[in-house]
Amino acid sequence: MLQNFTKYAGIVQTLIGLLGQFAPSVLGWLMGAQATGGNVFNVLSGAALSYLGFKGTQNAQRTGAQVIGGLNGLVGLLGAFGVNNLAGLQMNAGWGSTIVNLLIGAWGLYSGFVKKTAGATAH
């Protein structure tokens, strides 16, 4: 599950950031008018996750899932409470981006903190 999170959530998050920056009308109905801060966050954190998923060690993947999952969860929670700007950068602009951040955050934290059971390690 950990490697799946780092690979696929990273790809999805990178695509969301790129679409938000270069083709905002594609996801505008869902994500709202996402500003540059949110797009940069999505591209950078998504690229980092994807790199860890394809090239990183299991420990690096775990740390990446915990940190980036936690950051996404924090951005999602702040958006849910109406805090959409961090240090002058707009991070969330709509309910869709808040939900996406919360989902990626929850998936990352779960993947990063849940240990494999002994039966799950044998493939």
* Domain regions of the chain by residue span: 2-115
Predicted local distance difference test score (pLDDT) of residue 29: 53
Q: What tens digit of pLDDT does each residue of 52-76 get? A: 999 999 999 999 999 999 999 998 8
Cα dihedral: 86, 91, 96, 99 (round 10): -50
Report pLDDT for 123.
46
pLDDT of residue 79: 85
Query: Global pTM?
Result: 0.80
- 54 and 2 in contact (C-beta within 8 Å)? no
Is the pLDDT at 118 greater than 70? The verdict is: no
Q: Is the pLDDT of residue 84 over 90?
A: no
Burial call 42-56: b when 16+ CB within 10 Å, e when fewer: bbebbbbbbebbeeb
pLDDT the model gives residue 103: 92
Q: What is the DSSP letter of 89?
A: E
